[in-house]
Copies of this chain bind each other. A is one copy, B any other.
Amino acid sequence: MCRVVAVKSTTPIQLAHLLTRPRHSIINQAFDSRLRLDLRRPINGDGFGVGWYGSVVGERLGHQPCLFKSITPAWNNSNLNRIAEKTKSPLVFGHVRATTAGSLSQDNCHPWSYEKIMFMHNGGIAEFDKIKRKLQASLSDELFLVPQGNTDSEWAFALYLSKLPDVHAREFSPAKPFEHLNELAREANITEPSLLNFFVTDGSTIVASRYISSKYDEAASLLSLCHPRSEYAPGGHYRMSKSDKRENIIMVASEPLTFEKADWMEIKMNTLIGGHVTCRTQAVTLAMLK
């Protein structure tokens, strides 16, 4: 399973404070098994990606997020270290990959973006090879050509986009992509459960799901923390902890990213939340495959 984090803040945060410096960031947990809060997770060294929305609106990318991806491990990447020190953003996605499907290439690193929508996935679509053709057939010509890599996750992104009324719309029936994937699995007699923790944003709102298509198994973990604060710990190490002051930040992640695990709230299984910076989340319950 991969390690993921999504953050939204009213004031832009320095990427280094989220990704490269905190002792329990997704990158440092990926690197050092002694720091891992969940020891069952394997190593995440198969590339990584970071996406963020900034202040520069370009002719080509417009309001699209900036993406930085690499096939070398995140914990030893000079470019990431420098960019993270020099970049601030109010909305950041980070993803450290552990390969389940797809080769090691930047095309296969999360997150992906299309227009201003950004997407990443933690989990896997069960026996994806059996439904790949039907999933592709359901896409419009435009969206069929969007994926550049060969992962189940990137095709799930295309499917997700296809369920939006249009890519600029803020509202849509959030259960539809899940229902469609369940339907495809049913038709292909797939019984192995799919783990569909999706993270989507349009640059202002984050939507995240914690979902498994079976009611007998456990979904991949998903937790959230409101109002975290980053600070230098006494020993010199950088740490992140829950803030006393009410800074308007919400983090959603695959594992607790602060030493105080208990601060983190577990997202209920088979739920899709719309995270707002006020930390009030709307939860939608999603139907399971069986």
Give residues in A with beta carbon < 8 Å to B: 14, 16, 31-34, 39, 42-43, 45-46, 54, 56, 58-61, 66-73, 75-79, 82-83, 85-88, 99, 102-107, 129, 132-133, 136, 141, 144-145, 147-150
Q: Which of B56, B86, B149 contacts A61 (CB 8 A)?
A: B86
Residues in B with CB closer than 8 Å to A87 are 54, 56, 66
Q: Indicate how many identical chains form the complex.
A: 4
- The distance from the CB of A103 to the nearest CB of chain B, in whole angstroms, is 5
Residues in B with CB closer than 8 Å to A145 are 129, 132
Chain B CB within 10 Å, residue with most, of A32, A39, A104, A133: A104
Inter-subunit contact A79/B68 (CB<8 Å): yes
In the assembly, what is the distance between CA of A103 and CA of B60, in Å?
18
Residues in B with CB closer than 8 Å to A150 are 107, 147-150
Answer whether A16 and B58 are a contact pair too, CB < 8 Å, given A32-B43, A132-B145.
Answer: yes
- The distance from the CB of A149 to the nearest CB of chain B, in whole angstroms, is 7
Residues in B with CB closer than 8 Å to A148 are 102-103, 150
Answer whether A86 and B54 are a contact pair too, CB < 8 Å, given A43-B32, A73-B46.
Answer: yes
**In this complex, what residue of B is CB-closest to A139?**
B133
Answer whether A76 and B99 are a contact pair too, CB < 8 Å, given A56-B86, A68-B82, A133-B144.
Answer: yes
Residues in B with CB closer than 8 Å to A31 are 42-43, 45
Answer whether A69 and B79 are a contact pair too, CB < 8 Å, given A45-B45, A144-B133.
Answer: yes
In the assembly, what is the distance between CA of A14 and CA of B150, in Å?
30
